[in-house]
Amino acid sequence: MVHTGNVEEVFTYHAPTPAQVDVLQRIRADAMTLVRTALESVPSCADQQAGIRKIREGVMTLNAAVVLEGRI
């Protein structure tokens, strides 16, 4: 949860550690697989694009969870 005591930490860039880079790469690779499946198998429509956007948002949120080490 974001609160006044950790706003600076939450909105500051955190370079990933070498171990975190591996996790981030796995998350991104798995997300790309899902996006490719959506592009190949789901009719091109607003819902397809919304689903892909949510995958992207999910990757960004998971990346934050990794580099912030679950502090929020």
Which structural domain range is residue 52 located in?
7-67
Residue 41 forms part of a structural domain? yes
**Domain assignment of residue 1, yes or no:** no
Those residues with Cβ within 8 angstroms of residue 16's Cβ, 6 or more apart along the chain or in another chain = 24, 66, 67
- Asked if residue 59 is part of any domain, the answer here is yes
* 3 state SS of 17: coil
The confidence score (pLDDT) of residue 33 equals 98
The low-confidence residues of the chain, meaning pLDDT below 70, are 2
Domain membership flag for residue 22 = yes
- Total tally of structural domains belonging to the chain: 1
Averaged confidence pLDDT in the chain? 93
Would residue 72 count as lying in a domain?
Answer: no
Residue 49 domain-assigned?
A: yes
Q: 41-56: per-residue pLDDT in tens?
A: 999 999 999 999 999 9
User: Residue 43: what pLDDT?
Assistant: 98
